[in-house]
Chains A and B, each alone.
Chain A
Amino acid sequence: MTPEQIAESVKARAGAAVLAVDLAPRNPSIKLAASAWRDVAKHLRDDVGLNYLVCLTGVDRGAELEAIYTLEHLGTAPEDGARWGISVRISVPRADPSIPSVEDLWRTADWHERETWDLLGIRFEGHRNLVRILCAEDWEGHPLRKDYKAPATYHGIKNVV
């Protein structure tokens, strides 16, 4: 399927929840409202055939935090080698960054959502174990936010920068 066809299919499913479609060949993407994400995710996985969540990228855009899901079709048959897919962007307000979790749909999302929570502080509602994965459990703040200040000390160890 081409990105155009995927975008059409998502529009038919989610209607007004599709906020924007960018079909530039370099990085085609759909901008989606957070509330529609779980329904669209099921549609993309089961009906469209995007069985492979390649990557989940969190970005601090200032007033909003954004999660970018890069999805792809990965065929198991030797002749089904063509790679096609699309990215889904979901922006949430910085004051209350919350996105429905899809860790039960793509198991890859489990660790990726934990990582995005850890480093950017986006909450994934419904995740069964949303705890820090890369930073220490008692770490304060979310390092990849643009306003993050590295702590001066950690358990009495000086942070020399």
Chain B
Amino acid sequence: MTPPESLAPASQGDVRSEEMLLNMGPQHPSTHGVFRVVIRTDGEIVVDCEPHVGYLHRCFEKHCENVTFLQSVLYTDRLDYLTSMGNNLGFSIAVEKLFDGLVVPERAQYIRIICAELNRIASHLLAIGTYGMDIGAITPFLYTFRDREKILAIFEAMSGQRLNYNYIRPGGVAYDVDDRMVESIKAFCKYFRPRAQEYNDLLSDNDIFVRRTANVGVLPADLAIQYGCTGPVLRGSGVKRDLRKDAPYSIYDRFQFEVPVGTGRKGTLGDCYDRYMVRVDEMIESLKIVEQAVAQLPDGPIKADAIKNRIRPPKGEVFARVENSRGELGFYVISDGKETAYRVKCRAPSFHNISMLSEISRGAMIADMVAIIGSTDIVMGEVDR
């Protein structure tokens, strides 16, 4: 949004203009957690801003050095607590990579994909719902939460938990799914397909919403890569990079789906609207994967024979990444042959996605800060770890 003439800083004449520091957060409804930004303003214009993180720091990486690999899975749930299945999957893949030639059973692979993609839909539903609310549209939030609830009910049946599942574990998954759960997933797919149009009617095509987000917070592609942005933030800038396609892990190479990217459809390429729209489109692509995976779900065991109860990987170092809802989630795991990791480093997508905040908010209006922060869809649990 370009500032109206009357709001431009008065540098001459009898009106004195000076810069002011404005503190946003750490407790602020639109910072999506405990996040603080110190904004230097000139009137209504943001001159510069500095993000401060760390309020939720609990040294996840240190915990992993003190508990076993199996117990560490529990801590990964709390990283990006809106995509716990994806976190579990990333950590499990990293630990499995330490074992040479470990084969995860087919049924477990399919269940993992179904969970990860359903969780992506749930996470994006929350993202677009709260994003609308940030900007002043409260109704879409109620609709997206209605649908997210259906996914959480499925997860509750599968794992016993609604949020921190601890379900996908190194070697497989914790519990098998029965026919009733498979039926409920199929029913959800059927129910959810027409819903994207509903969200578009409610929010995406809403003129007020478009005006608040189009041309705001433009992130050029090269800047996004410089800051290590990934996921919908990078794809919103028109870069078609998705680990599920580029370096398929697990069994993603078996499914047909598209990678939506920003095209500047309502304004400039890489603006808040593009980042938002990528998430809306991704939900339908995830749904396609879930439908295919449910249709192909084979019978068989759900845990690898090699690691069932005790996990003691051989000595070694690996770096494994998965495409999580918010971008590339990576784990650098060093094992010295014990049941406890020597070192675990978590590469959290939100940590990178928010680090470029000051670059894209310079010159924006204060009211747009809310739109910009919301469009990055950060989860402080994984920023601060």
A interface residue numbers (CB < 8 A to B): 26-27, 51-55, 57-60, 68, 70, 74-76, 78, 81-83, 87, 106-108, 110-111, 119, 132-136, 143-144
Contacts and interface: CB of A to CB of B under 8 A. Distances in A.
B298 interface: no
B228 A119 contact: no
* Chain B facing A: main interface SS: mixed
Contact of A59 (B246, B247, B328, B334): B334
Contacts of A144: 59, 61-62, 65, 343
Contacts of B316: 26
B252 to A, nearest CB: 13
B319 interface: yes
Contacts of B57: 134-135
B228 A52 contact: yes
B332 A134 contact: no
B53 interface: yes
A53 B61 contact: no
Given A52-B225, A55-B319, A83-B246, A134 B352 contact: no
B210 to A, nearest CB: 26
B355 A57 contact: no
A21 to B, nearest CB: 15
B308 to A, nearest CB: 24
Contact of B247 (A78, A83, A134): A83
Interface in B232-257: 238-241, 243, 245-247
Given A81-B245, A107-B356, A111-B351, A54 B321 contact: yes
Contacts of A55: 319, 330, 332, 345, 347
Contacts of B226: 51, 106-108
B61 A119 contact: yes
A61 to B, nearest CB: 9
Interface residues of B, number: 40
B220 to A, nearest CB: 10
The 8 closest A-B pairs by CB, nearest first: A108-B228, A55-B347, A57-B345, A134-B57, A134-B54, A57-B332, A107-B226, A78-B240
Contacts of B356: 107
Contacts of B281: none
B241 A74 contact: yes
B316 to A, nearest CB: 7
Given A57-B345, A78-B240, A81-B246, A108 B355 contact: yes
B352 to A, nearest CB: 6
A156 to B, nearest CB: 19
Given A59-B334, A81-B246, A83-B247, A133 B228 contact: no
* Chain A facing B: main interface SS: loop
A94 to B, nearest CB: 15
A52 B228 CA distance: 6
Contacts of B228: 52-54, 106-108
A119 B62 CA distance: 10
6 contacts: A27-B319, A57-B345, A70-B330, A106-B226, A107-B226, A143-B62
Contacts of A57: 319, 332, 343, 345
Point out which of A27, A83, A134 has the most chain B C-beta atoms below 10 A from its C-beta.
A134
B241 A110 contact: no
Contact of B53 (A51, A107, A133): A133
Contacts of A82: 246
Contacts of B135: none
B240 A107 contact: no
A112 to B, nearest CB: 8
Given A57-B343, A81-B245, A135-B54, 16 more contacts: A26-B97, A26-B318, A54-B228, A54-B330, A55-B319, A55-B332, A57-B345, A81-B241, A87-B319, A107-B226, A107-B356, A108-B352, A119-B59, A119-B61, A133-B53, A144-B61
B91 to A, nearest CB: 15
B53 A76 contact: no
Interface string B339-367: 00001010100011001100000000000
B147 interface: no
A76 B225 contact: yes
Interface in B94-150: 97
A110 B330 CA distance: 18
Contacts of B285: none
B202 to A, nearest CB: 31
B78 interface: no
Given A52-B225, A74-B225, A107-B226, A27 B318 contact: yes
A111 B355 contact: yes
B291 interface: no
Contacts of B275: none
A68 B331 CA distance: 13
B59 A108 contact: no
A65 to B, nearest CB: 12
Point out which of A54, A57, A106 has the most chain B C-beta atoms below 10 A from its C-beta.
A57
B232 to A, nearest CB: 16
